[in-house]
Structure 1
Amino acid sequence: MTVSVLGRRLPAVATYVAGLGVSLFLLLLTIGVALWQSERSVELNQSVRESLETRSQLRLLLRNLQDAETGQRGYLLTGDESYLEPYLASRDEAPRSVELLEVAAGDNSERVAETQRLRELVAGKLDEVSQTVLLYRNGRRNEAMLIVESDRGKQLMDELRGIIAAAEAREQTDIVERMAAVDRSAQQLRFIVLFAGILLVAIGFLLVTAVRNAMRELRTSRDEARSAHERLLQEMGGREQAEAKVRQMQKMDAIGQLTGGVAHDFNNMLAVIISALQLAQRRLARGETDIARFTDAAMDAARRAATLTSRLLAFARRQPLQPTVLDVNRVVGGMSELLRRTLGEQIEFETVLAGGIWRVNADLSELENALVNVCVNARDAMSGGGKLTIETANAFLDEAYAAANIDVAPGQYVMIAVTDTGSGMPPEVKAKVFEPFYTTKEVGKGTGLGLSHVHGFLKQSGGHVAIYSEVGHGTSVKLYLPRTQLAETDAPLATPIEDLPPGDAGALILVVEDEERVRTLSVASLRELGYTVLHADSGVQALQVLERNPATALMFTDIVMPGMSGRKLADEAKSRWPTLKVLYTTGYTQNAIVHNGVVDADARLLLKPYSLNDLARKIRAVLDEPS
């Protein structure tokens, strides 16, 4: 099949692939240049900040020395010790400013020599002031005044002012040059984005035009086929030729639908790419460099158009809990090394694990996430270092505590306390810490979802969280999980891909999935594992297959399907064939077998996406369960 592009006939598939390939190349090139320019702008802005800091330290140094000199003269004239307060403060502050200037000088030989001379002059000036003060205190005022009148101090200050003025002028020149470089970078990036956007629009226009031409030709061919079909029926009445024309017409219709689908997908991709690039261009025009989300959106659209993969689930959907019986001491012990690395060397980390700890029934992954969230918050509250302690204990929350906390049921709990020696929280902050999106951190440093996630997980698990905090002394976050009488079971070890549980050709499995590609891959995976597999694309068809194959051992069904849902299908099938085992799968988390965030106890669920290893172990586990 060919398409018309600028009056030339080109192979359709090659044209679409070439257009998409060029678009992806331009997009990747634009993103790469944008990221490089953004990084360069960040480096230039950092240089500007360093120059401003250097100027600030130079001015602070000069002001300190001037204050010291003023205090000296006031003291020599009046003998009042209060005049020496600026000198005493400058005696500590001035050398500190010189040290910061030496750090800023780095390995620049000119600036190193400059700061070395500043250190000598500062030391000389402070020595001159100190000497006159000491002489005055010892009753030798005339000698002190002679030192002042010798102009030694004035010469030191004049040289200091000269060096500082030259350094400030140099830093100001550097700032102006770097700001100009930032502006040039932004201008270059705007030109690149505009050029790439124009090329993408042009390529998209050509491809859309080619697709429209192809569809028009297909419609013309379809109409001609229909006319030919009608003429043949009227003139020849030949059944065989009529059927051939009908088949040809159907092929044309199928090709037309396929071409229309390609145009639809590519138009969607172009809409996202063009919009994202235009938004990035507008931001750059305003001098903003935060365009990552727009370039990410454009890249995502290109990947979807090229690979036709399914969309990712929204990040905000809650995952269903799958609780298991846990020993919290074992959980905390297993996380100790991870937490030490997370906290860093400045934080002293300690665990205090109680003996005879009770068991809890909770989701292991969510419990680990909750502990990490709390520990990271504690680390951020100890910016200068400190100590973090994780303690476990058995606890009983009585009726009085439950009355004071209406969401708590009295009874036996296992407590995990995370205590830090950080800055603590005032009451007004503590009252809001569990609110979603509430954070006291700087913009970009936190989402405000950490503790609200911890609170929600504990509530789903029947537990409780309490915070005790005192400003300047630290915070203790106590997680309470209800005690369970169930016996602890060892967590199953991950099965390597080469050691998959063996399949059984005698076990007949029915795969029910309305999405053809997913169904095809599921069937192929199960057959690869050694099972005998049937498949259906709907609940109605699945029941028909079961009627013909009542010996089916397991039904592997999607939950969300048009018409009959997976849960309704399972209920109907189990009522007819009670020994049939069911394994659900879904890409959604809020559905018929998940209630209040917890998977139904009688439901066996495998969440999408899953690996071949996950599928093998889950199928084997369900088949091995007693009927």
Structure 2
Amino acid sequence: MAAKTRPSALVIAPTAVLLIASAFLIFVSSHRLRSSRDLVVHTHEVIGTARLLFSGIQDAQTGERGYVISQQPEYLEPYREAVARIPQLVARLRELTRENPTQQKRLAELSREIDNKFAALATTIEALDRSGFEAARAELMTEAGREAMLAIRRTIDELIADEQTLLASRTAAVDETEWRTLMVAIATMLAALFALAIAQLLLVRRNSQLRRAQADAALKAGLLQATLDHTREGIAAWDAGGRLQAFNQRFFEQLELPQEFAARGTRLDAVLARDAERSTSMLQSARARAGQEPAGEDAMFHGRIGQRTIEIGAHPTGDGGFLFSSIDVTRRVQAEEVAAQAQKMEAIGHLTGGIAHDFNNLLQIIRGNLDLLAPQLAGDAKASDRVVNAIAGTERAAQLTRQLLAFARRQPLEPRVVNLGRMMTEMADLLRRTLGERIEVATVIAEGLWNTLADPAQIENAVLNLAINARDAMPDGGKLTIELANTSLDAAYAAHQADVAAGSYVMLAVTDTGTGMAPAVQARAFEPFFTTKPEGQGTGLGLPQVYGFVRQSGGHIRIYSELGHGTAVKIYLPRAAHAAEWTGAEPLQPVEGGSETVLVVEDDVDVRAGAVDVLENLGYRVLQAGDADQALELLEQSAAVDLLFTDVVMPGSIKAAALARRARSRFPRIAVLFTSGYTETAAVKNRELDADAQLLSKPYRRDDLARKVRAALAEAAGQARMDGAAFAHLPLEGGSRQAPDLIRGEPGGNELPSPHPGSSAAN
């Protein structure tokens, strides 16, 4: 055995040394070639950046002159973009030429020239804005701008000329290095051929070992095929010659390739040609991406085949072949899309809710002052009309904020157990009158329809919104169908929807025969202010308001639509087990004033002043404070305070809830009325108000404030009478009645209970 091994070693050792030396030479040559090419690329980048710089300066000049001629602000866009981009390009040139002192010096000069040029441009624009066209024209006629531009052109031309000289020398170096690399490669190839010849001789001597290895390989191949057939992924491997070597049926089934391709030896070119017939060539895309990934990492490509999403993996094998894998990721992609959409809508909801809150405070200042101003202008008809128009404007603005709060799920709801069948029957005539004669309205109500818990007014508003959208989608007329049915959403459905809980629901579907929606429009349909209607015909808040109401009510909403076939919007509201309640409107109480003492606590000076003026006009004695600390001082100094009217959000460490509790410790029978730019629902949800707290949402009218104050005072008086009756019926102990323990919390505490449990809050 040693005798047989020695000749092989004598041949292999020199061959190995030769190959290693050749490989080293190739490596060195390749490194030099790469370095030379990098220098060429670097030079090209310097030249390209210099040209971009000059182009940007020309754009700035073009924008400036376009603006001077047209005096239209949009013509300044090229100028503004150039102002932002030029410093970046100059900085990039400095970075690229940092090892070239000549170019660095030239760039310093170029920077000064650019500054002069842009100063001239800015002077012209300022002259136009300040003194008009003739002044700007006079600035343009000066030689400063032209000379600056000539200087810039000259400097950039010199810079590019130097770089082109460098480019020529570096290109020559690349050519020389390529020739040397080719020679080394030829030598290496000859060495490799020699090594292959020696290897062939060795292989002949080991035929017996090869036969045994083949038998072992056949056994392993069978095991490999059994493994492939039982994996969830589709697998197909082609060798360097483009022939199929290993595969399973699942690969061809998932990619919907003909079964005749599922055979050893199938050419990769044939499979790629069939795959290229799709709108997106999945295998070719994955293969191309594999060349862009770092070595050892798979290239993944997602594509759609029919209604399914297939993930294709491509990995080059060591022998020059390709290994492809496929897996059906439809469910995973759907779940990710639903989760992403839910997160986006939640983020937009937080943003719109905050905007509406701040806007309500501004509206309150405007509306309060208008209410106070109106009686003073009773004798001036024209001024009174203007005040009325302004008040109407604040009402429209308040409606806008209510729509924003509806989308953000912060609108005040009054949920009741209702039967949607009766509601839709009553609404049918209203819808027919609203939609017109060209729209046929049909209602389909399932027998035994369950009740649901929701705000009746918001349900009517949602149906009306959807009906109007449907009408606009049927300009030539059509049919609107309102369908009601009982349904159950199971766990399998809920698992693929981020915002759905499994359970029993009442489905309300509004279907039209209109133009339908494109998938891109459906994806954005619930976003605030997104609309496809012409300007002035839609606010983009109708569907978002419906979406917010449904989600706030614990429901679910989906849109099903096809272009040219119509749209169906399905609302799912939770089933209610109780009987339907009467939904008639309660009559408004008359506006009354009073003589009680009211403490107004509001950190916004303008809002506080408006509230104080309204209350004083209603006859109340008013105290005012800018924060909780001032309010507590006034409470200590006052003989009696009948009502605390406080904003929920205030600066300082003492919040509205704590202020209310401490006010009751001073005046146990004091009434508490909160106000906030948010709504009661939002405050309750954030645990800042109890569910039955008295809250007046901003912006409010004079009459709203008057009614709420009387209601809060009446509730406090009623609670006081109930407490007195309870005290009168306490058993006698030791010959005297014992007062009930009014202390909240631990015995011996110093906080008194509120007359009504829902009076502590903050926004």
Q: Do these two structures clear the TM 0.5 threshold for a shared fold by scoring above it?
A: no
- Look at both structures and tell me which one has the larger radius of gyration over its CA atoms: 2
Question: Shorter-chain TM-score: what band?
Answer: 0.3 to 0.5
